[in-house]
């Protein structure tokens, strides 16, 4: 069976999965023994791995608050991950009640949890779809239920693009999504890098998981921002993106983050 031109999803609990490893690193309970072992192996390889996951999530929250304060009222969160409090719609609605959020992920377990927990929240959609099929995301009925592509959208690609290999041409997926957005829309992006530290041990752990990890250099990550104008402070380590407190910027970060705006 195929969905949007891709093989139909299979729930694989025998191998670690990025969403569940991340949930484990953030202190969540929606993971299995294989994910816990993979998370422990990541921490053994790089002791700051847990702090890096928290720094990434904190960046996401600051960036969402920023785009909503700037006036955006609808969000597509691709690679949304397992529900984690505060969820994106909760962060957004603390600034502006009624912000619409479409959560998209290609992991059926993520979607099952998200559906159960989030879809009763009004103007929240949950869609099983794949970043490698951007048109399938834009056309997905559960995305269309909450997102009006005639108005500005914040597109979240937070800690997901590094799960696409170079051969999968992630830049083409980002460009297709960008082209579906009107001027004034925003891209919130974070991405793992090996600019700060060698990632080969982490890559070896993810090689045993359902999705391998492809860290990229700052230069490669900047190419995803093509067609967008970077907001200050630009593409920086996630903990340095508008930190809430000066000491927060010193949190170790395993990736870069940026918020950018599609110009007219
Ligand atoms: C590390 S989690 C990130 C969660 C959340 N975005 C955050 O940063 O807090 C990565 C998520 O991306 C999802 N993912 C990986 N490859 C994907 C793809 N090709 N299409 C959609 N989602 C994908 C995984 O299932 C997982 O839930």
Counting from 1 in the atom list of ligand 1, the atom nearest the Cα of 107 is 25
Counting from 1 in the atom list of ligand 1, the atom nearest the Cα of 57 is 9
Report how far ligand 1's centroid is from the alpha carbon of 18 (Å): 7
pLDDT band, residue 7 (cuts 50/70/90): very low
Q: With residue 148 as reference, give the H or E element that holds it.
A: none
Segment 88-114, tens digit of pLDDT = 999 999 999 999 999 999 999 899 999
Report how far ligand 1's centroid is from the alpha carbon of 107 (Å): 8
Residues 88-113 as b/e (b if ≥16 CB within 10 A, e otherwise) read bbbbbbeeeeebbbbbbbbbebbbeb
Segment 126-161, tens digit of pLDDT = 999 999 999 999 999 999 999 999 999 999 999 999
Best mutation site among 19, 86, 214 for ligand 1 pocket (most ligand atoms within 8 Å of CB): 19
**Domain spans in the chain, listed from the N-terminal domain onward:** 10-262
* CATH 3.30.360.10 at 10-262, yes or no: no
pLDDT at 118: 79
Report the 10 Å Cβ neighbour count for 147. Answer: 24
Q: Kindly list the protein residues whose Cβ atom lies closer than 6 A to any atom of ligand 1.
A: 18-19, 22, 56-57, 60, 78-81, 105-107, 110, 130-132, 158-160, 163-164, 211
Residue 8 pLDDT > 50: no
């Amino acid at each position: 069976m195929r969905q949007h031109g891709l093989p139909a999803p299979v729930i694989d609990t025998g191998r670690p999965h990025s969403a569940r490893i991340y949930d484990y690193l953030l202190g969540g309970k929606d993971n299995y023994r294989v994910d816990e072992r993979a998370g422990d192996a990541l921490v053994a390889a790089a002791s700051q791995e847990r702090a890096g996951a928290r720094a990434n999530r904190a960046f996401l929250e600051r960036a969402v608050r920023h785009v909503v304060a700037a006036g955006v009222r609808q969000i597509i969160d691709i690679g949304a991950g397992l529900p984690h409090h505060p969820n994106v719609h909760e962060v957004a609605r603390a600034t502006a009640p009624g912000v619409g959020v479409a959560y998209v992920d290609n992991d059926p377990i993520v979607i099952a949890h998200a559906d159960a927990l989030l879809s009763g929240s009004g103007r929240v959609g949950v869609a099983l779809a794949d970043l490698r099929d951007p048109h399938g995301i834009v056309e997905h009925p559960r995305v269309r239920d909450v997102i009006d592509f005639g108005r500005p959208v914040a597109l979240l690609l937070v800690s997901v693009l590094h799960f696409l290999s170079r051969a999968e041409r992630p830049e083409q997926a980002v460009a297709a999504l960008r082209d579906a957005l009107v001027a004034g829309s925003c891209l919130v992006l974070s991405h793992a890098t090996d600019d700060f530290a060698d990632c080969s041990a982490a890559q070896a752990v993810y090689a045993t998981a359902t999705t391998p990890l492809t860290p990229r250099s700052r230069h490669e990550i900047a190419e995803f921002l093509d067609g967008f104008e970077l907001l200050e402070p630009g593409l920086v380590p996630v903990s340095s993106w508008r930190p809430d407190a000066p000491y927060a910027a010193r949190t170790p970060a395993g990736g870069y983050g940026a918020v950018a705006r599609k110009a007219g």
